[in-house]
Structure 1
Amino acid sequence: MLTVMRAPSRYVQGANAILELEKHVSSIGTKFYVVADEFVMNMTKEKIEQAFGGDTSKLVFEEFNGQSSMTEIRRIEELLKMSGCDAIIGIGGGRTFDTVKAVGHFSKVSVIIVPTIAATDAPCTALSVIYNDEGEFSEYLFYPKNPDVVLVDSTIIAKAPVRFLVAGMGDALGTYFEARTCLNTKSANLVAGAVSQAGFALSKLCYEILRDYGLKAKLAVENDAVTPAVEKVLEACTYLSGVGAENGGLATAHSIYNGFTILKQCEKTMHGEIVAFGTLVQLILEDQPMEEIENVIDFCLTVGLPITLNQIGLTDYTSEELMRVAQAACKEGETIHNTQGGVTVTEVYNAIVTANAMGEEYLQLA
C-alpha cells in the first residue's frame, strides 16, 4: 500500500481573518455562492460584503437548513447551478461544511470553508459525514481533493460559546490515538493510503497541544479573549486534527460516535463530546496502560469533556440500547475494524459499560 498525504491547498488563521477573505479566494473563483444557517448569516454577511469591498455582484447568499443530508445537498446543488457562481463558501459549523463540500464536489466548483466555531475538524477534510433527514448517521462521502481554502477567524470563534471549543478539543482528542491504531495495524487512512510519518506526527502534535494549552484556551474563550493558547488550540482542533485524522486514519472513537447517533437521547450532545467518550472506550477496548487512560480522563475533567454515559445525554438507558449502539458501531465498513485482531459487538458493549464505570469512579474522586 502506497503512503498518501493530503491537505487543504491554503490554510489561513488569525484575528479578523474574515476581512481578508477575498485576498485568499480571488485566484480560485470570480463569483461566490455563500452558504450559512440563519444565525451565522446574520452574524457574518456584512463582514463578507466588507471583505469584498462592497462588491455584492460577486456574492450570492443562501441559508442552510441545518442537516447535511442528500436532500439538502441536492437542493443547494440546483440553486448553485442557477446562480452562475464558480465557487462555494461554507460558513458556520461541521454540517454546513459537509454539505458545502458535497455540493462543491458534485458541481465541480472550488470550495472555501470559513468556520465560526471550532467544534469539529471538518473544515480541512476531504470527506463529508452524511445523515438522513432524521439526523441519524448514514454514510461518509470521500472526495478526490481537500477544500481549496480554509480560513479561520480567531476573533469570531473566541466569541462563540465555549462549549463549541471544548467539543472541538473532544473531536481532536481522538486523532492521535486513532492514528496510532491505524499505524500499528497497517490500516488505510481516510485517503486510502498507508499512514505517513508526517500524518502521524501531526496527530501526535495535536494531542500534545491540547494537553499543554487546552485549559488556558478554554479560560480565554470564556472571557471572549484571543491569546496565543487560543491560536494554538484552534490550529490543533481545525488543521492538525483534520489533516492528522485524514492522513492518520480513524478507529474506534469515531465509530462509537456513529453508534450513539441512533439514540434520541444523544441528539443534543455534540459530535466532539461523544468522540471524547469514544476515545476512552477505545483505550479500554485496546487494553492500553492505565497511566495513559488516566491522562486522558484528567484532560477531559480539566476542560469539561464527558467521561460517562450520563454526560453524553444517557440519563436513563437499558443494556439493550447500549447493545444497539455497539452493533451500530461495528457495522461493516466502520473504522472500528482497524483495531488489532478485530472486534466483536460484545467486546465493544463491554468496553462501553467499563468506560462508563471508570468515568463514574473518577467523577466521585474529582
Structure 2
Amino acid sequence: MRIATLHGFGGPEVLILDEAPSPQPGPQDIVIQVAAAGVNRADLLQREGLYPSPPGAPPWPGLEVAGVVAAVGADVTSWQVGDQVCALLPGGGYADQVAVDAGLALPIPAGLTMVEAAGLVEAACTVWSNLQAADARAGERVLVHGGSGGVGHLAIQIAAALGMEVWATAGGPERAARCAALGARAIDYRADDFVSIMTDAGGADVILDVVGGAYLGRNLDALAIGGRLVVIGLQRGARAELDLGRLLMRRARIIGTTLRSRPLEERRAIVAGVREHVWPLVPGQVRPITDTTVPLSRAGDAHRALDGGGVFGKVVLTVAD
C-alpha cells in the first residue's frame, strides 16, 4: 500500500510517498480502506521530530481517517466489511489502509462526506474530552482560543450546541466574523484585548487554549472565580511563569491534557462519549469545515497549507475515491 512517510525530520519536503506492507487486523481490530485522512498540527510536530508515534503505532503521521471497513478481527462484532466509518488513530493515517482498534471507530454521520468525516473525529474527541476534563456545563461561559482552527471551529459549535455561552479569539476581522457565524461572540485578538473583554463579561468559566506559554498569565487574568484553564496546545511556547497568588485568588484550576498517548481504554471511552453526546448533533448543529483538500501524493503541500496560517477549519488528504 502507499504511505506518506517521513524521510528524516524538517520541513514539508521530508514527507515522501513510499510503500509499506498492508496491515492485518488483530483480534479486536478493523482494517479501513482509507478514503480521506485529516491533517492536524500534531502531524506537523511529528514531521519536525517533536512528537513521535507512540509504541506500536506506524511511524508515519495521521491521527484520523474515514473510509470503508475492509477486514475485521476475529473478536469484532460491532463492524462488518463494507461499513463506512471514521476512526481515531495513534498514528499512520497517511496511508491507503489502516488497522485500528474497533472501539476507536465511529459510523460516518448521515449527510457527511468522507472528506468531512475525516476532519471531524480527532477534533470532536479533543473537544469532548477537554470539556469533560473542565467539568463544563450548560450556561457556563467558554472561551475558545484559535476559533478558526481545526479544533477551534468545532469547539465553538459543540460547546454552543451543549448550551454554553461561547466566546472565541481569531486573527483578523474576517476570521472573527466566521467564528461569529458559527455561534461565538468573536474577539479579533489583533485589534482587541481578550482579557479586558472577558473581564467585562464576568470572566470565562472555561478556557480551551491552544496557544500555550505565551498566554498563561493572560488566560489566568481572563478566568472567572472558580474558572478552569485547559491547555490543549503549545503553539507559542511550552514554558511560562505562573503567579500563584492570582491562581489562589481565583480558586482556579489549570488542566493539561493529551489524547494520542492515553491508554486504549481511555480513548475507547472518549470515542464512546463522542458517539453518545456529539454524534447526534452532526450535521444539524455541528459540521466540520474543510478549507483545503490535497492528494496523499502531495502530503507536503497539505503541511505547507497548515503551516501557512491561513486555513479556516481543516486540511484533509484525499486518498481514494
Structure with higher helix content? 1
For the criterion TM > 0.5, the same-fold answer is: no
Structure with higher strand content? 2
Structure number with higher relative contact order (C-alpha < 8 Å, ≥ 6 residues apart): 2
